[in-house]
Amino acid sequence: MTAASLLARGLRRLGTHALTWGLTLSGLLLFTFLLSRLSPIDSALQWVGDHASASSYAQARLALGLDRPLPLQFAHYLGQLLHGDLGMSRSTSQPVLDDLKRVFPATLELATVAIVVGSAFGLSLALLSARYPGGAIDTLARVFALFAYSLPVFWLGLLALLLFYARLHWAGGPGRLDDVYLYTLPQGSGFLLYDAWRSGDRTLLANVLSHLCLPALVLALHACANIARLMRAGLLAEMRKDYILASRARGAGPWRVLLAHALPNAGALLLTVLALSYAGLLEGAVLTETVFAWPGVGRYLTTALFAADTAAILGATLLIGLCFILLNALADVLIHFFDPRSV
Amino acid sequence: MTLIFRTGLLLALAAVLPSWAATPARTLVVAQSIDDIVSLDPAEGFELSSVSAFTSLYQRLLQPDPLHPSQLRPALAASWRAGSDGRSLTFKLRPGARFASGNPVRADDVAFSLIRAVKLNKSPAFILNELGWKADNIDASIKVVAGDQVRVVWPAAVGASFALHILSAPVASIVDSKLALANAQNGDSGNGWLKTHSAGSGPFKIRQYLPHEALVLDANVGSPAGAPRLASVIVKNVADAAARRLLVEQGDADIARDLGPDQVAALHGGVHVESVPSAAVDYLAFNAANAENPALKNPALWEAARWLVDYDGIAGKLLKGQFKVHQAFLPTGFPGALNDRPYRLDVARARAILARAGLKDVTIKLDIFNQPPYPEIAQSLQASFAQAGIHLQIQPAVGSQIYAKVRSQTHQAAILFWIPDYFDAHSNASAFAINRNDGTKTVAWRNGWVIPALSDKTDAAVRESDAARREQRYREIQREVQTHSPFVIAFQAQDQVVLRNGVKGYVQGLLADMVYYDRVSK
């Protein structure tokens, strides 16, 4: 294949993908918009409260644009969106974009630590299971994964707080920092681990870690269980294939077979599982964020939902949708890079 | 392996960390949910959390005494006198008072603040509307007489003592007009900026407000109210009640609010609970205007229902300490409140009333908030009403959904609560005992209670200038509502505030704005 035809093929694929992503995003927006508008919650009433006068209520309806027909409201929103304006959040009185810039780093930091820890342990467990299938280690790992996967994450979070924060004082409590540091820090990147590391203040870094470790581990446990279960199945499927038999016949040791042959071939599955788990975490672990008073996207979206704050709901949904699409696209590209046969 | 590693990791962390940090010295950390805050502009904010911050941030001309709220004390006004026409007041400002910005408090600021609140016409504007103030007459109603004197007149037929109570509500907070106007955009009188900033003369000022995260206040040492003892207050958003409990038990918060009865009962470790009566009254309402169910407009149902609430079971066992039995629309603590309790659980009597009226096997849909304690109360009602053949179908939903339903008169029955908006009997009387069918959605209107005579009586009460006679009128109105309305007023709420043992001087009053941090020390 010539370079030109390769490029043309790549561009064609990109075009198809972009079209799919665009359609997915607009469908997501339309659906969310309709859901938030058709819900029985009266957002003007939510804004002014139950005691307000009829004229204050009417004024609020007008300000929210609720007097206009639904298609016009949606068109207006899309118009604003094309100008990079996500609108004003009614419940925070801030532009939604500013709100998202504030809450997204908290979620991204938590999710990233959780996925790194979770995938490291999950993959290790899967490898051990695949190395000794049916053995004691495999059984233990499977039981562990099943438990970790089925435990409700908010309950685990509360238990973790009770034990490691309240009883043992090993970890920090709810929130991202102790109050001694909170609100006295200069505005940084929003990624506290990075900000603390850059500030060179060791006790600050320790404090950030002590608050991050519990929610991150609770989420990591869940991700770990998911990755371990799926990767175990994937690796065992690879191990039954002929090329494994062939490499064994050539004298490769069991670990070498597993790591150098089976694992790379299960790479596509691994990337997909990782992308989905990470996207799931980025979506905002609502319950975990609530239990740990973690000011992230999940909490932002839930409070917006309860307040019928349409601009905030749409903005946060759009962000989550974008994360999903970007991660999936990234996984696609990587899979294609590692295994050019896949289309 | 993972478990071993994880334990190791935690052990390592434990080694590098101090055991645990207490709250910073001279800083009060309050754990509560502040997700409800829409605006911290006193002309707009009307949510429990924002209103509870206004007393710290702003002063009004006069304010209720924290411990005896029926007595008004001068705040930014040094004195006032009523006009001979009975429809005006002249206030003389306290000399030398300054806002947190350093700007002096002038009569112009008073006029600016009141005119602004009426013209912005946000949620709490209806309180000022009680004086007949509207956007088109407010400019003429507030006149600066001298640099330190301001005269207010009002068109509504109400007396000066009522007007004083209206002017002591948070919506009448005095805003630093220079600062507000310097931050105004598109003629919003600074509304956009004041949603997240403060421009007042209260004992604290906003250092930083992070929506859904925290409201951080710094002392305003030059406040005319006197310098607070603490350097700062952090009101931290902790949405989960169990987490709030942990924080205060650990000493990572000094005060925690809104814990459930079980959590309060299980508290241990260096904390104590202060029970503060709140002015919220909880009631069951039947919607007589709902044609789907003819039983709803039958006064026998209303009468029987009063005997079917397990008042003591709910207040004493189910919600121990968080509710007390109270059966009149004026909460205990308001002048003229009826504090007797003529009704108790008496199924036999209720059955007899229903039998006389020929009501049997009635099924009623009951709308309730999906948050504690309402599901618990509803289940108790369901059980006791069933004994008299009234079947309640419980329909839980979020608050705004229920309010929308009630305001469009589409509910059958609902458990609701009502908090007075200002410290005067008219605040609740106008809700429960006026239905003019003129577009004003009072509680009486929402439930289709047709009361032309009682509405007249309530309007006459607010015009009464003699305090003793006025109280007597409200007692009569309450009795009328208690015995004849489609409302079963059953409980008054009590706030249980959890404080660390070292925290001294915390004061909280009946109304939502009566939260005082300025005398707190630790």
Contacts of B208 (CB under 8 A, 6+ apart): A183, B214, B215, B216
pLDDT of residue B442: 93
Q: Is the pLDDT of residue B482 over 90?
A: yes
B478, B193, B211: which is closest to B338 by C-alpha? B478
**Closest alpha carbon within chain B to A293:** B238
pLDDT in tens, B193-213: 999 999 999 999 999 998 888
Q: Is the pLDDT of residue B10 over 50?
A: no
The confidence band for A48, taking pLDDT boundaries of 50, 70 and 90, is confident
- In whole angstroms, give the CA distance from residue B59 to residue B203: 9
Inter-chain contact B17–A165, Cβ cutoff 8 Å? no
Sign of the alpha-carbon dihedral angle for B260, B262, B264, B270: negative
Burial class from Cβ neighbours inside 10 Å (0-12, 13-18, 19+) for residue A163 reads middle
Inter-chain contact B2–A124, Cβ cutoff 8 Å? yes
Inter-chain contact B14–A41, Cβ cutoff 8 Å? no
**Closest alpha carbon within chain A to B39:** A93
- In whole angstroms, give the CA distance from residue B282 to residue B286: 14
Q: Token digits for A272?
A: 């997909």
Inter-chain contact A94–B243, Cβ cutoff 8 Å? no
**φ/ψ of residue B35, rounded to 5:** -65, -20
B171, B176, B158: which is closest to B63 by C-alpha? B171
Which residues does chain B have within 8 Å of residue A224's beta carbon, measured at their own beta carbons? 2
Which residues does chain A have within 8 Å of residue B138's beta carbon, measured at their own beta carbons? none
Residues 217-246 of B with CB under 8 A from A: 234, 236-240, 242-243, 246
**Closest alpha carbon within chain A to B128:** A53
Which of B2, B27, B254 has the most A C-beta neighbours within 10 Å, making it the best mutation to test the interface with A?
A: B2
Which residues does chain B have within 8 Å of residue A103's beta carbon, measured at their own beta carbons? 212
Give the pLDDT mean for A298-316: 86
Looking at CA atoms only, how far is residue A310 from chain B in angstroms? 14
Alpha carbon dihedral B344, B346, B349, B350, in 10-degree steps, equals 90
- In whole angstroms, give the CA distance from residue A26 to residue A31: 8
- In whole angstroms, give the CA distance from residue A327 to residue A339: 18
Instruction: For the beta carbon of residue B86, count every other beta carbon within 10 angstroms.
Output: 13
- In whole angstroms, give the CA distance from residue B231 to residue B221: 9
Is the backbone of residue B448 left (phi > 0), alpha (psi -120 to 50) or beta? left
B167, B226, B295, B212: which is closest to B519 by C-alpha? B226
The residue with tokens 């951080």 is B216
Helix (H, G, I), strand (E, B) or coil at B232: strand
Q: Token digits for A276?
A: 């989905």
The confidence band for A342, taking pLDDT boundaries of 50, 70 and 90, is low
Q: Do the beta carbons of residue A94 and residue A88 sit within 8 Å?
A: yes
Lowest mean pLDDT across A28-42, A49-63, B406-420, B474-488: A28-42
Q: Is the pLDDT of residue B13 over 50?
A: no
Inter-chain contact A54–B39, Cβ cutoff 8 Å? no
pLDDT in tens, A60-108: 888 888 888 888 988 888 888 888 888 888 888 889 999 999 899 999 9
Which residues does chain A have within 8 Å of residue B35's beta carbon, measured at their own beta carbons? 91, 303, 306-307
Q: Is the pLDDT of residue A55 over 60?
A: yes
| Residues facing residue B281 across a β-bridge | B418, B492
Give the pLDDT mean for B236-255: 90
CATH topology of domain B27-227+501-516: D-Maltodextrin-Binding Protein; domain 2 (3.40.190)
Looking at CA atoms only, how far is residue B245 from chain A in angstroms? 10
Inter-chain contact A303–B13, Cβ cutoff 8 Å? no
- In whole angstroms, give the CA distance from residue A250 to residue B86: 107
Lowest mean pLDDT across A27-31, B58-62, B381-385, B388-392: A27-31
Residues 126-145 of B with CB under 8 A from A: 126, 129
pLDDT in tens, B48-65: 999 999 999 999 999 999
Residues 165-194 of B with CB under 8 A from A: 192
Which residues does chain A have within 8 Å of residue B236's beta carbon, measured at their own beta carbons? 175, 179, 293
The pTM assigned to this predicted structure is 0.84
Averaged pLDDT of chain B: 91
Helix (H, G, I), strand (E, B) or coil at A291: helix
Q: Is the pLDDT of residue B345 over 60?
A: yes
pLDDT of residue B19: 41
Looking at CA atoms only, how far is residue B127 from chain A in angstroms? 9
Give alpha helix (H) positions in A92-201.
96-131, 136-150, 153-160, 192-199
B482, B476, B429: which is closest to B455 by C-alpha? B429
Residue B271 belongs to what H/E stretch? strand B271-286
Give the pLDDT mean for B414-434: 94
Inter-chain contact A293–B46, Cβ cutoff 8 Å? no
Helix (H, G, I), strand (E, B) or coil at B223: coil
CATH superfamily for B277-494 is Dipeptide-binding Protein; Domain 3 (3.10.105.10)
Angstrom distances, CA of residue B122 to CA of A44, A49, B336:
11, 10, 30
- In whole angstroms, give the CA distance from residue A317 to residue B436: 45
Buried b (16+ CB within 10 A) or exposed e, B216-232: bbbbbeebbbeebbbeb
B196, B174, B169, B164: which is closest to B183 by C-alpha? B196
Give the one of B10, B216, B401 whose C-beta lies nearest to A183's C-beta: B216
A160, A253, A166: which is closest to A212 by C-alpha? A160
Inter-chain contact B38–A93, Cβ cutoff 8 Å? yes
Per DSSP bridges, beta strands B271-286 and B515-516 are unpaired
The answer to ipTM > 0.85 is no
Inter-chain contact A206–B16, Cβ cutoff 8 Å? yes
Which residues does chain A have within 8 Å of residue B240's beta carbon, measured at their own beta carbons? 174, 290-291, 293
- In whole angstroms, give the CA distance from residue A97 to residue B84: 56
Angstrom distances, CA of residue A44 to CA of A54, B333, B368:
11, 33, 20
Inter-chain contact B27–A179, Cβ cutoff 8 Å? yes
Give the one of B10, B38, B195 whose C-beta lies nearest to A164's C-beta: B10
The confidence band for B118, taking pLDDT boundaries of 50, 70 and 90, is very high
Which residues does chain A have within 8 Å of residue B250's beta carbon, measured at their own beta carbons? 165-166, 169, 173
Looking at CA atoms only, how far is residue B169 from chain A in angstroms? 14
Q: Do the beta carbons of residue B442 and residue B434 sit within 8 Å?
A: yes
Angle ∠(A316,A322,A323) on CA atoms, nearest 5: 90
Angle ∠(B116,B53,B266) on CA atoms, nearest 5: 155
Burial class from Cβ neighbours inside 10 Å (0-12, 13-18, 19+) for residue A97 reads middle
Per DSSP bridges, beta strands B390-397 and B362-369 are parallel
Inter-chain contact A178–B129, Cβ cutoff 8 Å? no
Domains B27-227+501-516 and B277-494 share a fold: no
Q: Is B450 on the interface with A (CB under 8 A)?
A: no
Inter-chain contact A102–B210, Cβ cutoff 8 Å? yes
Q: Do the beta carbons of residue B259 and residue B496 sit within 8 Å?
A: yes
pLDDT of residue A23: 87
B354, B363, B370, B360: which is closest to B392 by C-alpha? B363
Give the one of B27, B242, B400 whose C-beta lies nearest to A41's C-beta: B400
- In whole angstroms, give the CA distance from residue A148 to residue A142: 10
Give the one of B46, B121, B214 whose C-beta lies nearest to A49's C-beta: B46
Q: Token digits for A57?
A: 């209520």
Q: Is the pLDDT of residue A1 over 80?
A: no
Helix (H, G, I), strand (E, B) or coil at B24: coil
**Closest alpha carbon within chain A to B21:** A178
B138, B170, B168: which is closest to B154 by C-alpha? B138
Buried b (16+ CB within 10 A) or exposed e, B124-141: bbbbbbbbbbbeeebeeb
pLDDT of residue A284: 62
Q: Do the beta carbons of residue B475 and residue B336 sit within 8 Å?
A: yes
B48, B81, B88: which is closest to B170 by C-alpha? B48
Q: Do the beta carbons of residue B209 and residue B40 sit within 8 Å?
A: yes
Looking at CA atoms only, how far is residue A262 from chain B in angstroms? 23
Looking at CA atoms only, how far is residue A25 from chain B in angstroms? 27
**Closest alpha carbon within chain A to B421:** A51
Q: Which amino acid is at B364?
A: I
Chains A–B, number of C-beta pairs less than 8 Å apart: 179
Inter-chain contact A295–B212, Cβ cutoff 8 Å? yes
Inter-chain contact A42–B6, Cβ cutoff 8 Å? no
Instruction: For the beta carbon of residue B310, count every other beta carbon within 10 angstroms.
Output: 20
Contacts of A224 (CB under 8 A, 6+ apart): A117, A118, A119, A121, A122, A125, A145, A148, B2
The 8-class DSSP code of residue B276 comes to E
Domain regions of chain B by residue span? 27-227+501-516, 277-494
pLDDT of residue B323: 92
Helix (H, G, I), strand (E, B) or coil at B207: strand
Give the one of B16, B196, B440 whose C-beta lies nearest to A54's C-beta: B440
